[in-house]
Amino acid sequence: MPEIYDIAFLGGGPAGYQGAIRAAQLGAKVVVVEEGFLGGVCLNRGCIPTKTVRASAEVGRALRRAREYGFQPVDATPDIKAIIARKERVVTGLRRGIAGLFQARRIDLCEGRGRFLSPTRIEVEKDGQSRLVEAAKVVIATGSRPDRLPLFPLSPRVFLADEMLNLDYLPQHLLVVGGGAVGVEMAAIFRELGSQVTLVEVMDGLLPYDDKEMADYLAGVLKRRKITVKCGVRVSEVQEQAGSFAIRLADGTELAPDTILLATGRRFNTENLGLEEIGVQLKKGRILVDDHLMTNIPGLYAAGDVIGFWLLAHVAFAEGICAAEHALGLGSAMDYQVVPRCTFTLPEYAAVGVSEAEAAAQHPIKVARFPFKSLGMGQCLGELEGLVKIIAHAQTDQILGAHIIGPHAADMIHEVAVAMRGGLPSRVIMETIHAHPTLSEAVLEVAQALHGQAIHMPPGDA
């Protein structure tokens, strides 16, 4: 006989585990079906591992800069095995934290791979044994996985994004294929750890879907940190050799990296779930949903990467919660108008809203900028590379987009995100007293510049 629940989540990643906790808060009897580890790609192979290793890279950078801050130089040689071990400790602790939350909320965890027998019944298989789970409502949250380019061989030194931080050696020369968020993050991290890094992107610039001015600024920072950046070119030939690869780019450039990272996109995990058999509508592998995240089958929802809207963990959090709430009668709907996005390079790049080009195509706009080198706290920290940019409607002063490159950009962007969410004009930021000295004053300075009241910039420099 099947175990019967009010709601089931197929997948225990960001959408699944947060949706499950929200459903339990609403009093539902909840089960999560997960074949791997709780937390999904984000916790186990993506967001958290990357930022943990990045923290080690930041420490190494600070040690190498000791003389700038009045200290004698110290040894900053990375121990990659110790760095990866620290990453594993962090991941394991957070994973246990989620399990503890499940226990506290009386959420059942059903380990194994799930497959639909009907819209309300899931068969879960593990180690040759199966059990049945039945729920009045089900949320599909099976996520995504990296896509592999067939040009590159199956090799222990060719890594997909989800595998890269399990390596047990430090690459001498790392080739990163793909200049999106994952590619530029990994390039920045491994350069700070001491690897020679070449970054190749087939589009004309890095982060091709973000603001061009800011992406170009970030590319300049990476180049100044001795990362070779090649855009508008593709890899045309790959040959594996003893201890290295012979790489030829379409422009004739030849490279000999010992390690390759493929950061070129992701695929939706919708195969072999029984979705076609029960009639779920798909488009190019992603599940189609409405504003409430319901599929074409009443009572069956999908959330997270598998629906293909934003492949971001924090969006998946919100989608899992929204799906749980609507499934349990609250009428919730998703609103994607204000979605902060962060690229954890060194320094970070964070953005919310649209690019300058996108805004100008739809509205009369005004734009202002403020560099970190003119910021008191930037000088105090010795962090002079960075730029804050805000785009606002020229007539209404509503903020259309904001972009920040610099230390703690991912934290700073939320001041603007909250203002946008609340419909507040940039004048409100300008009229809000900001503590001094702080990095957030850069946002204040840009708001002042939008109104012709820039304090720490000469006229016309904004």
Buried b (16+ CB within 10 A) or exposed e, 99-134: bebbeeeebbbbbbbbbbbebbbbbbeeeeeeeebb
Residue 94: which residues within 8 A CB-CB, separation 6 or more? 39, 43, 48
Number of residues assigned to the chain: 462
Given a contact cutoff of 8 angstroms between Cβ atoms, the answer to whether 180 and 232 are in contact is: no
Residue 19: which residues within 8 A CB-CB, separation 6 or more? 9, 139, 141, 303, 319, 320, 321, 323, 324
- Name the active-site residue from 173, 393, 436, 456: 436
Report d(CA 11, CA 36) in Å as an integer: 9
CA 411, chain centre distance (Å): 14
| Residue 254 burial by Cβ neighbours in a 10 Å radius (0-12, 13-18, 19+) | exposed
Q: Which two tokens stand for residue 50?
A: 């990357």
Is residue 112 left, alpha or beta, with left meaning phi > 0 and alpha meaning psi from -120 to 50?
A: left
Report d(CA 442, CA 115) in Å as an integer: 51
Report d(CA 109, CA 126) in Å as an integer: 13
Report d(CA 93, CA 52) in Å as an integer: 13
Report d(CA 283, CA 278) in Å as an integer: 15
Query: Is 436 in the active site?
Result: yes
CA 457, chain centre distance (Å): 33
Pairing label, strands 129-140, 121-126? antiparallel
Given a contact cutoff of 8 angstroms between Cβ atoms, the answer to whether 261 and 159 are in contact is: yes
Q: Which two tokens stand for residue 191?
A: 């350069």
Single out the residue of 433, 283, 444 nearest to residue 370, CA to CA. Answer: 444
Active site residues: 436
